[in-house]
């Protein structure tokens, strides 16, 4: 019976000395209280009563959200900023033996670094330079935590909270800016509308002028064509008369008809050439003779 108990105790001790390190973890082994080794993924065996697992380290990337820290800008504005730090343990030994309470050390280091950086910036620069602040903080924290076996992958400013009166002033400023932009857009729209209306009226006036010009040209061309047709007809008549070789008597009669038309006008005095007067007298005598015979 005692042998069985001893065997059970031996098996229990042996089983307790078998350690399996899971993925993304590391074990720190101490022998007689001093650092002995770092176990990575796999199965390992402890020396009973001599070795012990001093610490189990998680090698995954960690995310820590620190509480808002009061900071003062260059233009003496107090605000609260909370940060998010993404870090990863790269050396388990340094992480265990490099610093006491690493998370508190990182939080304090983050707060002091943030105050130093924001202290060199004014309020407007702080609100518009998040990427710059993030980059500076990551570089400073990564360098400071390197002896602790910690690598800082990213640092983000989660919230920037100015005082209430500053927020009110900023909201009023943004409202005024929006109203200014609205007024500018409205003025530009009215300007474009006026320009378009003026251009439309200009084009309409040009079209009306072109229409009047075209009508006047067509009217003038019509009159010119009418005059040309009349003159052509007159010329054709004269040509035909000339081709017919009219006698002196016909020409005299036509002259008398012309003077008859002139006499019906408003003229008070008509001068008749002597040749036509003689012919007129001859015509009157012939008319009297014809009357006597009747």
Collapsing DSSP to helix, strand or coil, 219 comes out as helix
Q: Which residue has the tokens 């012309």?
A: 258
Helix (H) or strand (E) segment spanning residue 5: helix 2-16
Assess contact for 71 and 64: CB atoms under 8 A: no
> Per the structure block, which two tokens stand in for 43?
């199965």
The confidence score (pLDDT) of residue 57 equals 93
For the chain, the structural domain boundaries read: 2-58, 61-162, 168-243, 246-293
CATH class of 61-162: alpha beta
* 38: Cα separation from own chain's centroid: 58
Tens place of pLDDT for every residue, the chain, 294 residues? 778 887 777 777 777 788 899 999 999 999 988 999 999 999 999 888 888 899 999 999 999 999 898 999 888 888 899 999 999 999 999 999 988 888 899 999 999 999 999 999 888 888 888 899 999 999 999 999 999 999 999 999 988 888 888 777 777 888 888 888 888 988 998 889 888 888 888 888 898 888 888 888 888 888 888 888 888 887 777 777 667 665 565 556 665 566 555 555 555 555 555 555 555 454 444 445 445 444
The confidence score (pLDDT) of residue 282 equals 47
Query: Distance between CA atoms of 272 and 270, rounded to whole angstroms?
Result: 6
Assess contact for 102 and 65: CB atoms under 8 A: no
Report which DSSP code applies to 294. Answer: -
Assess contact for 83 and 114: CB atoms under 8 A: yes
Report which DSSP code applies to 68. Answer: P
Query: Distance between CA atoms of 133 and 100, rounded to whole angstroms?
Result: 27
The confidence score (pLDDT) of residue 63 equals 94
Q: Phi, psi (5° rounding) for residue 132?
A: -65, -45
Assess contact for 78 and 62: CB atoms under 8 A: no
**CB-based contacts of 107-114 (< 8 A; 24+ apart in sequence):** 107/64, 107/66, 109/141, 109/144, 109/145, 110/66, 110/69, 110/83, 110/85, 110/137, 110/141, 110/155, 111/66, 111/69, 113/137, 113/140, 113/141, 113/144, 114/69, 114/71, 114/81, 114/83
The confidence score (pLDDT) of residue 167 equals 74
């Amino acid at each position: 019976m005692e042998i069985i108990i001893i065997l059970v105790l031996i098996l229990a001790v042996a089983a307790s000395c078998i350690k399996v390190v899971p993925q993304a973890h590391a074990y720190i082994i101490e022998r007689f209280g001093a650092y002995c080794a770092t176990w990575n993924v796999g199965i390992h065996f402890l020396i009973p009563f001599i070795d012990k697992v001093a610490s189990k380290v998680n090698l995954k990337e960690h995310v820590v959200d620190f509480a808002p820290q009061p900071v003062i800008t260059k233009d003496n504005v107090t605000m609260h900023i909370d940060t998010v730090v993404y870090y990863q343990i790269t050396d388990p030994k340094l992480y265990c033996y490099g610093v006491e309470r690493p998370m508190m050390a990182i939080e304090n280091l983050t707060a002091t670094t943030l105050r130093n950086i924001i202290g060199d910036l004014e309020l407007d620069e702080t609100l518009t330079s998040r990427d710059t602040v993030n980059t500076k903080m990551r570089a400073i924290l990564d360098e400071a935590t390197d002896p602790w076996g910690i690598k800082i992958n990213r640092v983000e400013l989660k919230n920037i909270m100015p005082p209430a009166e500053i927020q009110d002033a900023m909201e009023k400023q943004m409202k005024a800016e929006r109203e200014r932009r609205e007024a500018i857009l409205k003025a530009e729209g009215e300007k474009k509308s006026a320009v378009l209306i003026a251009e439309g009226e200009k084009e309409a006036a040009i079209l009306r002028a072109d229409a009047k010009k075209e009508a006047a040209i067509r009217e003038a061309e019509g009159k010119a064509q009418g005059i040309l047709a009349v003159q052509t007809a007159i010329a054709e008549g004269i040509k035909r008369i000339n081709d017919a070789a009219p006698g002196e008597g016909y020409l005299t009669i036509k002259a008398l008809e012309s003077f008859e038309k002139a006499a019906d006008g408003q003229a008070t005095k008509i001068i008749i050439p002597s040749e036509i007067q003689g012919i007129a007298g001859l015509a009157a005598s012939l008319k009297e003779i014809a009357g006597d015979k009747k």
